[in-house]
Structure formats: C-alpha cells, structure tokens
Amino acid sequence: MQPTFDETYNCTNFCTNYSGTFLVNPSNAYLVSVSEFILSGSGIPRLEIYCTAPNFRSAVDRAEHTLTADSLSVLLRALSPPYCLLQTLVCDYLVVAKKVPVPKFAAEVIRTNRSIERLDIRGSNLGEEGLALVLSALSENPVLVELNISDNKLGDKGAEAVATFLHKNTTIQRLGLSQNSIGAHGFCVLFKVLEVHNRTLRSLVAYENNADDEAAPFLSRMIAFNNVVEELDLAENYLTDQVLALIANGVLKNEVLRRLDLELNHFSDSGGRVLAQMLRGNRGLTTLGLGRINMSEGVIMELAEALNSATCTVREVYVRESFSADGKETMEILQGAVRKTIVTEMRGIHC
C-alpha cells in the first residue's frame, strides 16, 4: 500500500506495511494518529517523517501542517518504553512551530529509547547547542549504531565536538555529517581522532563540505592507518589533484576500505593518472564514485586499463553524464574499454 497525497503533497493518510510507516508533510492530527498507532502496540519497525516545504494553500493549511510541541510530545511518549519497538526513526527537515525544540526532542528520543538503532535527523537546525544535547544523550545510549546529522549547521566547532565524542564512543558504526559547512580545521581534528582512536565507525558520509588541501595529510594518514572504516564519502569537498595523490597513498596501504566517493571534486589529467596507479595497486576497494570526469580521452583510457588490470579489486565505478576534454562522452569511453568492472550512471552511492 502506498501513501496518498493531495495536490500540494501534504499527507492525507499514512502508509503502513511490513517495513514501516511513512509520512510526508504530516498534519498534527496525523502525527498524533501515528503516535497512537504505536502506543497501541503496533510493533512497526520503521517510522519515516519527511517534510518537503510544501506550497501551503492557506494560513489554515500551513497551521495544520506545522508541527507543534504538543504533537511532538505525543510522539515522544510513543517512542518511549514500553510502547516502542521501532528500529529506525527518520525525522528529516521537520516543519515546526516557533520555539519548538527539535534538538531537545531528538536528544530525549536517544536518551529514553532502547530499541531504535538508526536515527536520521537531517535539517533539524541543531547548531552547537543542539549537537551538545544529542551527543550527551548518545553517551547514555548503548543501542544506536547509525546517526545522520547532516545539514545541521555544525561547522568546524561541531566537527570538533563530534571528534571528541568519537574518541570514546564504542557504538556508532555509521555517521552522516554532510552539508554542515565543515572546513579544513574541523576535518583535521576529525581525521586525527579516526586515525588512532576509532574502534567502531565503519561508514563516514561527509559530502558537500569544504575539506580542501589543508586537511589532506590527516585524511591520508586516517585512510592508511585506520583499520575499521569501510565506506568514505567525500564528494563535493573542493579536493584537488594534490589531495587525490595523498588519498591514493593512503588507499594503497589500506585493506579495509571498500567504498570511496570522490564525486564533483576538482581532478584533472594529473589526478587521473594518480587514480590509475591507485586502482592498480589497491588491495580492498570495490566501489568507486567519480561523478563527472573531465579528463582527456587518453587519461580516461588509462583509467580503463587500470580497471582491467589483474590486480585491480574495484568492481563498480559510478560516473555522471560528462564529456572528456576532447568532447567525447566519458561513460561511452569507459564502457567500451572496461571488461571486468561495471561502469554505471552515478545515482549517488552516498551511504
């Protein structure tokens, strides 16, 4: 059964099936209905709430679909023991009334719930204070293993706070930090902690930040000496050929990293040749995201030869529609030359 939507994409009923309950732009009334459904002992494993900034038809419509403290309070009670059996909770970009403390709500869910293993609170305007509440609650939660706090205006100070938390944490395995305006300083601190002190984090998704060249040495060492991280997404981070050379150096020493996304960074032919050397010599990488490759046809052929080499472990390469510096379509060149690796259109391999 699929949820039904009216012409403004506001949820008019909620969908429940074997995998969970899904709401898009819920009204307060429907959110309360779902909460009562959980309180009744429904046993649903997954609840996803998405707000997509709808075009409200009237002030009444806007008020109806702007979540209040009261409706979130009912949801919080439903998510507390002994009612809740949820394993996954997604609350993305909630449209809430003024002064409704979404960070406090998220922290209370983390603090009191002992069934939720995956929590996604993108676009919740955490900021530094909200992040502090969430991290403090996480220190008391032995169950949560996946946390997505992307697009929460964390900046470098937020990245430092996350690094401090990861220094001692022994539960979080997947972490989303994308679109948080994290700069070189924040990444330097984060990579230094992950290089030495990481015991459990297997997936770091941090696309669309600003790691740039300054963080590159710390990134290289983290990749080289960390034996836990299996998935790393650094798409759209202003990385250059010089950074790619250091990343490649780290990858050549790493046998654990399986997925690497470097889409929409600034790599030229020089970077392409470094990438070819990395593909021939790496010992564990199986999936590589490159996005748009704006290199000459000759270098793209070098990449194809590296992918065909007996020593290359990569089995999937993702690219977007793009053209070589010579004007030929990248996908066509690679697909025509690569034999043992799947080359497919980039639809996002973000973890």
Q: What is the 3-state secondary structure (H, E, C) of the chain?
A: CCCCECCCCCECCCEEECCEEEEECCCHHHHHHHHHHHHCCCCCCEEEEECCCCCCCCHHHHHHHCECHHHHHHHHHHCCCCCCCCCEEEEECCCECCCCCHHHHHHHHHHHCCCCCEEECCCCCCHHHHHHHHHHHHCCCCCCCEEECCCCCCHHHHHHHHHHHHHHCCCCCEEECCCCCCCHHHHHHHHHHHHHCCCCCCEEECCCCCCCHHHHHHHHHHHHHCCCCCEEECCCCCCEHHHHHHHHHHHHCCCCCCEEECCCCECCHHHHHHHHHHHHHCCCCCEEEEECCCCCHHHHHHHHHHHHCCCCCCCEEEECCCECCCCCEHHHHHHHHCCCCEEEECCCCCC
For the CA atoms of the chain, what is the radius of gyration? 22
At 322, the pLDDT band (50, 70, 90 cuts) reads: low
Phi, psi of 238 (to 5 degrees): 60, 35
**Average pLDDT along the chain:** 87
Q: What does the buried/exposed string (b/e) look like for 228-240 if buried means 16 or more CB atoms within 10 Å of the residue's CB? A: ebbbbbbbbbbbb
Q: Which pLDDT value is given to residue 38?
A: 85
- What per-residue confidence (pLDDT) applies to 13? 43
Task: Report the pLDDT averaged over residues 155-175.
Answer: 96
35 falls within a domain: yes
Contacts of 304 (CB under 8 A, 6+ apart): 333, 334, 337, 338
d(CA 318, CA 330): 11
Q: What is the mean pLDDT of residues 10-14?
A: 41
The answer as to whether 38 is a domain residue is: yes
**What is the predicted pLDDT for the residue at 83?**
73
Domain assignment present for residue 217? The answer is no
Q: What is the pLDDT of residue 253?
A: 95
Please report whether residue 58 resides in a domain.
yes
- The pLDDT confidence band at residue 148, using thresholds 50, 70 and 90, is very high
Number of domains the chain is built from:
1
Asked if the structure places residue 267 within a domain, the reply is no
The pLDDT tens digits for 79-96 are 888 877 788 999 999 889
pLDDT: which is higher, 1 or 184:
184
Could you report the per-residue pLDDT of 212-265, keeping only the tens digit for each? 899 999 999 999 999 999 999 999 999 999 999 999 999 999 999 999 999 988
Mean pLDDT for 31-49 is 84
Would you place residue 176 in the very low, low, confident or very high pLDDT band (cuts 50, 70, 90)?
A: very high
pLDDT in tens, 285-319: 999 998 777 788 899 999 999 999 999 999 999 88
Q: Is the pLDDT of residue 345 over 80?
A: no
Q: Is residue 20 domain-resident?
A: yes
In a domain, 149, yes or no: no
Beta bridge partners of 91: 49
Res 7 pLDDT > 60: no
| Range(s) of the domain holding residue 21 | 1-125
pLDDT surpassing 80 at residue 351: no
What's the farthest any 2 CA atoms get from each other in the chain? 65
